Every structure is written in structure tokens, then in C-alpha cells.
Structure 1
């Protein structure tokens, strides 16, 4: 996913790269979609998936990359916008307009694409591809970007949009928290505690609230370390801690420790990469395009999956063809250029057009 950055001077390319990699992790996690019959996989052998050995962790736990998105968003929003909101220099209406113009255009395009593709799929199959609730009610929820607010009956249309739907709510809470000025950090910790209470029972909202505000606290702590020890000192603190935490997570237990991942490993990873980015401006610039396409690759990969399923079914390939490595390579060979095209020729021009025509009541840039 993509969190909109105001300009190239306010970019941490290290976090851009991380966001882009996280989006691709979700694609690996969703490769199992090709073996669904209805709402669950049938005759599915996870170990036969393409390149399974080197990417086992992604196939088994790639869905948790969404929580990394939330953590990144919290960090970046506290970094870029918290002071502006607290100082009343960023009006609520302009903040909302900027978020909407970044997120909604591609969401609308992919929603319409999935609606059409699911209709075509259901005409030639017994049901929809993976996500079943593709009716008028859920269409309205999706058009309003509300498919994960607790009003839904289940997964619908371009279901990965659920995390963006939760982010819309998080932006509103973030804005209100920051309006409190001096109270923003106590309220941030309170919101984090609320998310911890909700997660994992209320999975969508709980994980969003928990990880977004963990990201905010991570930014606050990193800033304190930078004040005390400078950028070099911050790197010397965060990078070794990050390496130890991830080593403990990966090699210290037979099963993935979700609490360790969300409460320790993700925040330390974000802090370490941000610290490196603050110390060496431009670090990771060459791979910053991965962050540019993260939102597109995240939203486009599911409609592209439907296209692949329809195409290979039409040529009478069995679904076991998706165990073949060449199919995955072909999929990524289409997804990544398509995401680049989307970012350059759809997302950026439409965003620029809408922001240039921002209603006068919302204020100037």
C-alpha cells in the first residue's frame, strides 16, 4: 500500500522499499486463491506452490504484512502530519481531501474491474472467485470505502481493500488525537491499548488500531533517541536491536510468535530503516519505485488473479498449473509493469488533477 508523501524531500526511501516488499508479500500469501473452490482451498498442497522453499515464510505468514502496512502508516503520519494538525496549519477538510484523492481513484477502478470480472467468472463457474459477497449492499459499502467497518457480512469484491477501509477510520482518529496537542501522546498510548484489547478478536479494526498507533509511538521514541544520541546513535541503537529481535523471531521458536512480530519486530524494523534513512538521505532511492507501486500492486493483484484464472480455465488448464513456477513468473511479469503504469499514468495524474482543483474552501497547498 501507499501512504502519500508530500514531496521527494520528505521521503524515506528505506521505508518506501519496505512498503513495496510488504505488498508483494501479500501477493505470495494470496497465491492460494487459485486453489479455492468457493470460500476455501480444495485439494490444496501448500508445499507445491512455486518457489516454496525460499519463500516459505511468505506463503505461511505473508498476510501479516498488512499489519506492517498499518505500522508504517502510523509512523509516517506522525512524522509528516502530527505537528501540522496540532498547530492547526492543516485543516481537516484539506487533510481528508488529500487522503481521498490519493486512495479513491485506483480503488474505484479496481472495484469496477473486479465487479465485471466476478460477473464473468460466475457465468462460467459455480459461484464467484474466492470472495462471495458481491451484491448491491456490499457494492455500496465498497463505493463508500466502508467494507471493513463491521457492517459487512463477509469478504466482497476487491477484498484486499479492507485494510485501506480501516485506514480511513484510522486517519480520522489520528487527526482527532493530534488536535489535542499536548494530549496526543497519552491518547496515542490509549489508542494503542484499545487496539491491543480488540486484537485479534476484532481482527480488522483491532489490528489496524493496534499497529497504526504502535507506529506512532515508534516514531515518538525514535525522535527521542535522535535528540539524545543523534542520527548515528539512533542507528547504533535500533539496528542491533532489530537484528536480535528478528533473529529471535525466526530461529528462536518453532512457530511464529505473532505478539513478538507486532509489538517488537515490526516497530524495530521500521525504526531501524527510518534511522538509516534519516542518517543517509537518499539511501534506497534506486529501489524507491517499489514503494511507488505498492498501492497499485496491492489493489491490482486480485483482479489480475481473476483474469489468470479465467484465461487458463478457458484453455482447459487444470488449476494445478498454478503450482508451476513459470505461471508465477508470468504473473509478476505482468503485475509489476502494470503497477508502474498505474502509478505513472493513473494515480499520479488523477491525484494531481483533483488536488489542483481542490475546492477553495479546503485551502491552498
Structure 2
């Protein structure tokens, strides 16, 4: 399958939605009540202000889709665990470690000035050690610390182990993925499990979406299967009285991923823009909180109040995040990935987004 440029655009909008959702962090510094309808450009961005946190679920589904394409559908041979580990480590850890140190420093300055931490209060030694090993959410999902948004990546890292294990099943991988996605979804929507089950459900339904898209089914059967998928899930959840906004989201996200994957795009210049924007998703996701901290400290040092209701401040915040993210992606993320992969794999593997 050729590269799905539409997925890069979806990556960007998923990161953008989280950025808009987390704009409310600024209100914690000003101790002002956050009311979504009063935010800058609310008439145009109301979906992101009210539902922007769902960008995390889209990320999880996208990861499953891309992993299936890369490690199962393209590479029929058994994936080498060391290669998988190095690829994931080089993709996720360098920027995580950089932002962890940056937030630790900025939180120390913030605490010294205001006698409290900004938004995420658990910034002790134990939390720091957990962050170093990327397991900050393995013990208590919502005990957020340091660079708080990384919680969703920590949860996803745990799910990777399940993915690698199922890959070893080879011919049983498809059925096993279906069973895991179904099991995790039922446990999550029944209110029994935590966010690890939610992540597992989205990740493995992303895998199933990639399998469905890569099949040789005629268009009519393909559409029919999608409709049957929606009907089956809705029927099951309705029977068990579990219909909710989360259920509809779970049905909708894989459909969006599939539609963006098959989106017909031919303009080469536009494709380049989409690829560039999609490449910024991880940097913008990890950089926006430390940048918020830095902005607040600068305004406090200047003795100025944050103009949180200003359109110009809001637009400036977004421009700052994506500009810094572009620099970090080009000057830090990509070189760090290449260095680690060249060192650990002794080859010149392409950077995998």
C-alpha cells in the first residue's frame, strides 16, 4: 500500500485538538474559571474546545493502523524484537527525556515563585523515576506528573508488548487482534477496566481497520463490512445498555482513519505540506506543556497578566508551539532517531513516523 498522506493530516488535527483542549491550562495560572464558550474563536473551534481530548483516542487508533501496515502487512517475516524496540525507543524516548528535564526545571522555578506546581502536582523523586522509565501511568493512570500529556504515550507503550506478543502468533494474529479489541472494548465500556483497556481497544481496532483496508474486497463488500461493523457494535452496546458518547466515538474513529487513509490526494505540493504537518504531531504533543509553563513564567517575570481571552494571544500560542515543534523535529527528533538507529542497528534505517 502506498503512503497514506491523509493520515498525516489526521495526525496534525489530532495534535491540534489536544493543543486547543489544553489551552485551559492557562486559566489555572490566572486562577480564572474556565468556560469553553468564552474562549477565543469559539464559534469556529467549539468542537476542539469541548471534545479536543479525544485526539488521544485518534492517536491510539492511528498507531495500531500504522503498526499493522508496517510490521504485519508489509513484513510477513517474524519481526525482530530488537529492531522493534530500537525503532520505538528512538522515536519516543529522546524527546520524552528532553521535555522531562525541561519541565522539571520549569516546575522548580514555578514552585519557587508561586509555592505550588503548575497543573500537575506530583513532581517528586518517585514520579521522576517513573517518567525516566516511561512507566508514569502504569501504576496510577491519572496520577499525572511533570509533562502530564505523556500519560497517553506511557499507556500505549504498555500495549506495545501485547502487539509484539500477538505478532509471534503469525497466522493467528488476525483472530487474536479481533478478540483483544473486542475484549478490551467490552471491559472498558462496562466500566470495569482502566485506560489501558481503552487504549488496547483503539489500538487493536486500528489494526483491524488496516487489515480490512488491505484486503482485496470489492468496494461494495468493503462498505458493507463497515456498515455491519457499526451495526454489530451498536447492537452489542445497546443490548448491554452501554450506549454513550464514548461508544459512538469508538465506532467513529476507525471509520475516520480508514477514510483518511483512502483520501484521494494528488497535488504534490499539498502532500508535502500534509507530511510536514503530520511529522510535528509528537513534538507538538510533548512540547506544548513546557512552552505553556515558559510563557507563564515570562509573563510573571514581566509582571503582566496573561491575556487568555485574546484572539491574538491564542493564535500566538499556537504559532509558537508549531514553530518550536518544527525546529525540534528537524534539529533534534530526526537526528536523535538516526543516531540511535545507526548505533543500535548498524544501518541507515529511514525515520519512521
- Band the TM-score falls in, shorter-chain normalisation: 0.7 to 0.9
Match of 1:219 among 196, 204, 210: 210
Q: For structure 1, which runs of at least 5 residues remain unmatched after alignment? A: 1-8, 246-254
Q: Using a 3 Å threshold, how does the CA distance of structure 1 residues 271 and 280 change in structure 2: closer, same or farther?
A: farther
Is structure 2 residue 119 aligned with structure 1 residue 130? yes
Instruction: Give the C-alpha shift of residue 284 in structure 1.
Output: 3.3
1:218-257 alignment runs, 5 A limit? 218-224=209-215, 227-229=216-218, 233=219, 237=223, 257=245
Q: Distance in 1 between matches of 2:60 and 2:303?
A: 40
Q: Distance in 1 between matches of 2:266 and 2:77?
A: 29
Is structure 2 residue 256 aligned with structure 1 residue 269? yes
Q: Using a 3 Å threshold, how does the CA distance of structure 1 residues 139 and 327 change in structure 2: closer, same or farther?
A: same
Match of 2:35 among 18, 41, 45: 45
Instruction: Give the C-alpha shift of residue 223 in structure 1.
Output: 2.1
Instruction: Give the SS at the match of 1:160.
Output: helix
Instruction: Give the SS at the match of 2:263.
Output: helix
1:1-365 alignment runs, 5 A limit? 11-36=3-28, 42-83=32-73, 87-88=77-78, 90-151=79-140, 154-199=143-188, 201=191, 202-224=193-215, 227-229=216-218, 233=219, 237=223, 257-263=245-251, 265-276=252-263, 284-319=271-306, 321-358=307-344
Write out per-residue CA displacement over residues 171-223 of structure 1, whole angstroms, 9 at most, x where no aligned residue.
22111112101111121112112321342544431221110011011111222
Q: For structure 2, which runs of at least 5 residues remain unmatched after alignment? A: 232-242
Instruction: Give the C-alpha shift of residue 364 in structure 1.
Output: 8.6
Instruction: Give the C-alpha shift of residue 86 in structure 1.
Output: 5.3
Write out per-residue CA displacement over residues 203-250 of structure 1, whole angstroms, 9 at most, x where no aligned residue.
4312211100110111112223xx122xxx389949x97xx99xxxxx
Aligned-CA RMSD value: 2.8
For normalisation by structure 1, the TM-score amounts to 0.83
Equivalent pair of 2:6/2:262 in contact (CA under 8 Å): no
Q: Distance in 2 between matches of 1:236 and 1:77?
A: 21
For normalisation by structure 2, the TM-score amounts to 0.86
Instruction: Give the C-alpha shift of residue 276 in structure 1.
Output: 2.5
